C-alpha cells in the first residue's frame, strides 16, 4: 500500500504537524488501521475509503484510538488527494463519522469550515477553574485567565469548552511567560478534561500563541491542532464577536506552525499551508486482529 507523509500548517517542509495519508484504504478494517497508525507513530494517520471528483470519505486514527474529526488531517488529506488527482476543484466535501466538512483551496492555503458551539466559562468558584486546573498545568491559579483587552476587546476570558466535532477545553493564560511555563500532569488533567487542554494567550494585534496538550488521546503536545484552533475561534467569537486571527503553535517542541482562523458566533474556518515530504509503501499488511 502506498502512503504519503505531509507537513500541515507549516511554513514549508519539516515544519508544522506531520500526517500520514493512506489514499487507498477501502479494504482495511478498523483493527488494521489502528495497528498501522500505531506503527506510523504520528499524532494522526488518515485512511481514505472512498473518493470521487469533489468528495471523499476517510477515517482518522491517533496511535491510540480513532477520532471523529481532526483539523490537520482534514487539510492534509484534501491536499494529498488533490496532488494525486483523485479529487479536483476548489470546493470539496469530506465525510467522517462526525458528518460533512467543507474544504476549500484558495491561493496557497487549504481551509476547512465547521459549525460549532461554545459552552459558558467555568465558574470562578469551580475547582476546575482554580487550583486543580492550575496544578494540572504546573501554573499558579492567578495565571489562569486573560484580559480580553489583550485582544482589543473588553472583559475577562476564562476556561471553557468549545466544540466543532471533538470538544476541547480552552484555557486562556495570563501572558507568554505563563504559556511557556505550562507543563501538563496527565493524572491531574484527566479528571478536568478527558481529551486534554488547548492553552492560549495574546501575542500582539491579530495574533495568538497556543499550545495543545492531549494526553487523553496519546498526544503529549501537538505541533498544530486545527480542530482546537477552530474551537478557539468559536470560543472567542461567542465572547467578543466576529474575529480573524493567526495562531502560532509548536515552537516549544521544535515544530513551528501557523494557522489562520476566521470565526463567527456559530461557524469557523481554519486555513494553512501543506507540503508533501515523503512517499512510501507499507511492505506487509498486518492481519485483521485486535492488538493485544
Active site residues: 44
Match 458528518 to its residue by C-alpha cell.
99
Element (H, E) at 176: helix 176-181
Query: Roughly how many angstroms between the first and final C-alpha of the chain, as a whole number?
Result: 24
Task: Copy the grid coordinates of residue 38.
Answer: 500505531
Q: Distance between CA 104 and CA 138 in Å, rounded?
A: 39
Q: Distance between CA 254 and CA 252 in Å, rounded?
A: 6
Question: What is the SS3 assignment for 153?
Answer: coil
Phi, psi of 260 (to 5 degrees): -110, 135
Question: What is the SS3 assignment for 288?
Answer: coil
- Neighbouring-strand partners of residue 269: 113, 262
Task: Copy the grid coordinates of residue 138.
Answer: 504546573
Task: Copy the grid coordinates of residue 102.
Answer: 467543507
Task: Copy the grid coordinates of residue 260.
Answer: 489562520
Q: Distance between CA 188 and CA 57 in Å, rounded?
A: 36
Element (H, E) at 259: strand 257-263
Q: Distance between CA 231 and CA 193 in Å, rounded?
A: 15
Q: Virtual CA dihedral for 228, 94, 271, 107, nearest 10 degrees? A: 180
Amino acid at each position: 500500500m502506498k502512503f504519503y507523509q505531509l507537513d500541515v500548517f507549516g511554513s514549508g517542509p519539516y515544519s508544522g504537524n506531520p500526517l500520514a495519508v493512506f489514499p487507498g484504504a477501502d479494504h482495511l478494517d478498523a483493527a488494521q488501521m489502528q495497528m498501522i497508525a500505531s506503527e506510523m507513530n504520528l499524532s494522526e494517520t488518515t485512511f481514505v475509503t472512498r473518493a470521487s471528483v469533489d468528495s471523499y470519505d476517510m477515517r482518522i486514527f491517533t496511535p491510540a484510538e480513532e477520532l471523529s474529526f481532526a483539523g490537520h488531517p482534514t487539510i492534509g488529506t484534501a491536499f494529498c488527494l488533490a496532488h494525486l488527482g483523485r479529487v479536483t476543484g476548489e470546493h470539496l466535501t469530506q465525510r467522517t463519522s462526525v458528518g460533512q466538512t467543507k474544504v476549500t483551496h484558495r491561493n496557497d492555503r487549504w481551509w476547512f469550515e465547521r459549525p460549532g458551539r461554545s459552552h459558558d466559562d467555568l465558574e470562578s468558584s469551580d475547582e476546575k477553574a482554580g487550583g486543580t486546573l492550575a496544578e494540572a498545568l504546573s501554573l499558579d491559579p492567578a495565571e489562569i485567565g486573560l484580559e480580553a483587552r489583550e485582544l482589543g476587546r473588553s472583559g475577562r476570558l476564562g476556561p471553557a469548552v468549545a466544540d466543532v466535532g471533538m470538544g476541547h477545553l480552552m484555557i486562556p493564560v495570563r501572558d507568554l511567560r505563563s504559556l511557556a511555563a505550562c507543563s501538563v500532569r496527565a493524572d491531574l488533567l484527566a479528571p478536568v478534561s478527558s481529551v486534554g487542554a488547548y492553552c492560549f494567550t495574546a501575542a500582539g494585534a491579530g495574533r495568538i500563541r497556543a499550545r495543545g496538550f492531549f494526553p487523553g488521546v496519546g498526544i503529549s503536545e501537538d505541533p498544530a491542532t486545527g480542530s482546537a484552533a477552530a474551537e478557539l475561534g468559536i470560543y472567542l467569537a461567542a465572547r467578543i464577536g466576529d474575529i480573524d486571527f493567526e495562531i502560532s503553535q509548536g515552537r516549544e517542541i521544535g515544530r513551528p506552525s501557523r494557522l489562520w482562523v476566521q470565526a463567527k458566533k456559530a461557524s469557523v474556518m481554519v486555513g494553512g499551508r501543506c507540503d508533501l515530504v515523503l512517499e512510501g509503501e507499507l511492505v506487509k499488511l498486518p492481519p485483521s486482529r485486535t492488538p493485544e
